[in-house]
Chains A and B, each alone.
Chain A
């Protein structure tokens, strides 16, 4: 499974019940599309810390609202 696929699977677990995760593209803003709420970003932060051992102190959490933003953090 690629990083992207793993990430999509994870977002599925934190998405709002009415959020359509399958329909999102990499540049879509997950908060503005109501897929997740801005407070759910903490779960993305914990996911990155746990699964990718990232030091999140240098990353702006408000950038973690798109798939590309999250993958960018992983790549960095």
Chain B
């Protein structure tokens, strides 16, 4: 074993694992973990919760759920601009505090009702039992319609992209009969997780989390060490991102190390300004791929690191995507929990719905459902304010270019899957040159389609088309 692999796999060393089980070992890990989480601006509540989980791992779900309640409260206090207010009873703040109380109660009661529903799903009436997730989404879409006629409801729209998929996992778990033997605190901590994040449910729901939950001291120590490892990697990638931006992009020239800055536009800027040389256009798309991979790696590693510290030794969200040798492999490694979401809620249901179709067509429909329909549907919820206000033109302007990205992605994944299936039948091994070519092909594909994945008011259809054509030197 080389020195590098010894360092890279430090979390698997038996002597370190033994140390991590002792009080002093836990304290050291907590201090390092807290320092790393603080560096990444994670709420101090998370560090407190992790510390308590270290002391009483058997109660981790309850501890994390209590922390969740505190975070929900903090969220609304912040939204009502009361975070720094110490005059709790000041008359001018009474209405704001009343709103905090109402929202807080609605959310926690809402979660409890959904949990009770999930528990009872196996015995629910036919349609509810068979399609609980579909019904949930119908209710949410109908609620957006109601917001148009009753605007005060629009306040709830903010929560839709944040919660809808987490609740979907809860209902899916209930549909499988898993929720029957669980309590409310087994679910609360992932419905509103203590870390900052997007609407993407890292770690999915309880079904997945419990399969990766540490059951003994050794597994707990192993999970904590693995958490420190990914948090350290998050910090490393964050530093790399800082240097990367400072070196390449004009926009970040102030951050350049030793004042060296290449002065390139970011991909967004290159598309928006147009008139790029072929060389600059290609450089920006390739660098754009590296840029987004680094950004996703940092965010995903922070969240996975926190969950691992808490004893849930889950997969990384981003795992060496730039070494992928196929398009479908990149899709899996770049944003794992998003891919899993698309597969579980769109790919499998579509694939199972058409058993009599020709295998290739059936696979194409399933991939299209995941990479196009699911992908678009997921992102449109991030225009929740426009949905609530009925501003459908804004939604079209924001997301319609993404349709091109999603269609190209679906076709790419489908072809990649078919090729992979054929390759595995003959079990041919690739030469080093073939591997390099495959990796380069994956970079090329994702770099080029990424032109249609970016969002921005100034990135119109025509500018994206012009930029794509400029890549051909035309």
For residues 41 through 71 of chain A, which have their beta carbon under 8 Å from a beta carbon of chain B? Answer: 41-43, 45-46, 49, 55-57, 60-62
For residues 330 through 360 of chain B, which have their beta carbon under 8 Å from a beta carbon of chain A? Answer: 332, 339-340, 343-344, 347-348, 351-353, 355, 359
Contact of A39 with B424 in the complex, beta carbons under 8 Å: no
Contact of A38 with B352 in the complex, beta carbons under 8 Å: no
Contact of A60 among B176, B332, B351, B355 (CB under 8 A): B176
Asked if A24 is at the interface (CB within 8 A of a chain B CB), the reply is no
Contact of A13 with B348 in the complex, beta carbons under 8 Å: no
Cα distance A37–B333 in the bound complex, in angstroms = 11
Contact of A62 with B348 in the complex, beta carbons under 8 Å: yes
Contact of A13 with B351 in the complex, beta carbons under 8 Å: no
In the complex, how many residues of chain B place their beta carbon closer than 8 angstroms to a beta carbon of chain A? Answer: 25
Asked if B238 is at the interface (CB within 8 A of a chain A CB), the reply is no
Most buried by A among B315, B424, B427: B424
Cα distance A13–B340 in the bound complex, in angstroms = 23
Contact of B340 among A38, A42, A43, A49 (CB under 8 A): A38
Asked if A7 is at the interface (CB within 8 A of a chain B CB), the reply is no
A38 contact set on B, CB distance < 8 A: 332, 339-340, 343
B340 contact set on A, CB distance < 8 A: 38
For residues 165 through 184 of chain B, which have their beta carbon under 8 Å from a beta carbon of chain A? Answer: 176
Residue of A nearest to B325 (CB): A17
Asked if B429 is at the interface (CB within 8 A of a chain A CB), the reply is yes
Residue of A nearest to B353 (CB): A57
A42 contact set on B, CB distance < 8 A: 347-348, 351, 363, 366
Q: Closest CB of chain B to A63's CB: distance in Å?
A: 9
Contact of A57 with B348 in the complex, beta carbons under 8 Å: no
B315 contact set on A, CB distance < 8 A: 32
Contact of B355 with A61 in the complex, beta carbons under 8 Å: no
Asked if B421 is at the interface (CB within 8 A of a chain A CB), the reply is yes
Asked if B329 is at the interface (CB within 8 A of a chain A CB), the reply is yes
Cα distance A61–B425 in the bound complex, in angstroms = 22
Asked if B67 is at the interface (CB within 8 A of a chain A CB), the reply is no
Q: Closest CB of chain B to A32's CB: distance in Å?
A: 8
Residue of B nearest to A36 (CB): B424
Residue of A nearest to B328 (CB): A39
Cα distance A60–B122 in the bound complex, in angstroms = 14
B328 contact set on A, CB distance < 8 A: 37, 39
Asked if B417 is at the interface (CB within 8 A of a chain A CB), the reply is yes
Contact of A17 with B429 in the complex, beta carbons under 8 Å: yes
Most buried by B among A42, A49, A62: A42
A42-B366, A45-B351 known, 8 other contacts, Cβ within 8 Å: A13-B427, A16-B424, A38-B339, A38-B343, A39-B328, A42-B348, A57-B352, A61-B351
Q: Can you pick out 13 interface pairs between chain A and chain B where the beta carbons lie within 8 Å of each other? A: A14-B421, A15-B424, A17-B424, A17-B427, A17-B429, A29-B211, A37-B328, A38-B332, A39-B332, A43-B421, A49-B355, A56-B352, A61-B348
Listed from nearest, the 7 A-B pairs whose CB atoms lie closest are: A61-B348, A56-B352, A42-B351, A57-B352, A38-B343, A14-B424, A13-B425
